[in-house]
Amino acid sequence: MDNQNTMREAPQTLPNGQDLVLPWHLRLPARLEQEFREQFRDAAARLIPAASVLLLAVYGLALAIEHRMAPEVTLLSWRPRLLAVMATGAVLLISRRALPWLQPAIAAMALIVACVHIYLGLIVEHPLAAAYFYIPFLAVLALGSVFRVLLYWALPISLLILAGQAAALFGLSSLTSAESLIIFAFSSCGALMSLFGQYFFERLQRRLFLSDRVLHLHRNELHAANRTLETQASEDGLTGTVNRRGMDVRLSNLLHNMQHQARGAPDSVAVLLFDIDYFKQYNDTYGHQAGDECLKAVAEVPKAMVQRATDFVARYGGEEFVIVLGGTRLRDALVFAERMRSGIERLGIPHRNSGSNTVVTISIGVACTAPGIDTAEQLIQRADEALYQAKGQGRNRVACIDEEGVLRVLAP
């Protein structure tokens, strides 16, 4: 009873990545960390053009307002600001050509923007010069919110910017202590909120990355299981050849593609049907286990001969096998059949109760696609008729029905 309750309580579910625990520092194992950084970087690179245009527009707007209010200040500030513009342009260029350098380039750009405006705040003598000291906070905000750098770049650069701002405000600027404290408190609180949001944004991104990896693994496992099941469903367990069901599907698909002139489809298909001569007597003489070994040995010969993706060997039933050759005309199919017949004869498997030889031999019927003969049933029927004639003419030989419907038996 307890076991039944336990089974009802907890249905089995696949892990989805959300149940994986991330460390507080967010770092993943080395290989996963590298893959995540590349994925994050590539996603960030797609934002760079729009982010760069936005930042350049802000530079232009700030310069226009400054020029309207204090043209003399513009004469002093345009050169340092040009350095910030060049840094932004470099990031845009790197995002298109040198992605491995993208994250450090963005960090360097933010640092340059902050330093340029701290410098202007120190050298510009104007009642509104204190406004320059607010720009470092915008540089911190741009790191994570606009240009999307990883936290391990954003955090040290943000702290470095705040440290430089504090040193300038409290040690070098002409602002009062109260003004410096207000500006630094605003920048620090804003930077803290930005970094806090970036931390949880990156945490979410890493969880989504892990979820995707877990789903990818499940998908691969499912595909592998499906391939295994498909192989098991279409493969003969004894000989390793295609089974009857698999043969019907593959031959029908091959003929369908040929008729519809699909890409890679052959322009003709040959079917070779053969069985082992006097196989019942072989089983009666040597036993069924020896018969199984004989089937496996015989099947290995055509399996070693087929080369192309369209070619395959199938066990048709009992001791009968089918070889399908795509893109093969009748004459070439007959050459293949004779090589296979002689190859199996050369195996030298003893068969003392054979009516045609002292070793195991086969008889083969060959048929090829022709006008009016283009279905699997028609090809198998023609090959079976040819096989019947080969056996009737003494076995251990090849017979065929040509394009005109004439039956021919080849001497061994």
Asked whether residue 380 carries a pLDDT value surpassing 90, the answer given is yes
pLDDT digits (tens, 9 = 90+) for 244-274: 988 998 999 999 988 888 877 788 999 999 9
Match 């350049």 to its residue by tokens: 56
**C-alpha span between 179 and 186 (Å, rounded):** 11
Q: How many residues does the chain have?
A: 412
Instruction: Give the number of other Cβ atoms within 10 Å of residue 43's Cβ.
Output: 11
- Structure tokens given for 98: 């040198």
What are residue 367's DSSP bridge partners?
Answer: 271
Asked whether residue 127 carries a pLDDT value surpassing 90, the answer given is no
Q: Report which of residues 224 and 130 the model is more confident about.
A: 130
- Structure tokens given for 377: 């049933």
Asked whether residue 7 carries a pLDDT value surpassing 50, the answer given is no
Report angle CA 58, 59, 60 to the nearest 5 degrees.
90
pLDDT of residue 234: 79
- Structure tokens given for 330: 């009748």
Regarding the domain delimited by 244-410, which CATH topology (the fold level of the hierarchy) does it fall under? Alpha-Beta Plaits (3.30.70)
Active-site residue list: 319
**C-alpha span between 27 and 32 (Å, rounded):** 9
Match 């202007």 to its residue by tokens: 120
pLDDT of residue 98: 66
Residue type, 240: G
Say which residues have a Cβ less than 8 Å from residue 355's Cβ, sequence separation at least 6. 277, 278, 281, 395
What are residue 274's DSSP bridge partners?
Answer: 321, 364
Q: What does 201-216 look like in DSSP terms, one character per residue?
A: HHHHHHHHHHHHHHHH
Confidence grade of residue 333 (pLDDT, cut at 50, 70, 90): very high
**C-alpha span between 235 and 242 (Å, rounded):** 4
pLDDT digits (tens, 9 = 90+) for 277-327: 999 999 999 999 999 999 999 999 999 999 888 899 999 989 999 999 999
**C-alpha span between 210 and 190 (Å, rounded):** 30
Q: Range(s) for CATH 3.30.70.270 in the chain?
A: 244-410
**C-alpha span between 273 and 313 (Å, rounded):** 10
pLDDT of residue 3: 47
pLDDT digits (tens, 9 = 90+) for 20-59: 667 777 888 888 888 888 888 888 888 888 888 888 888 8
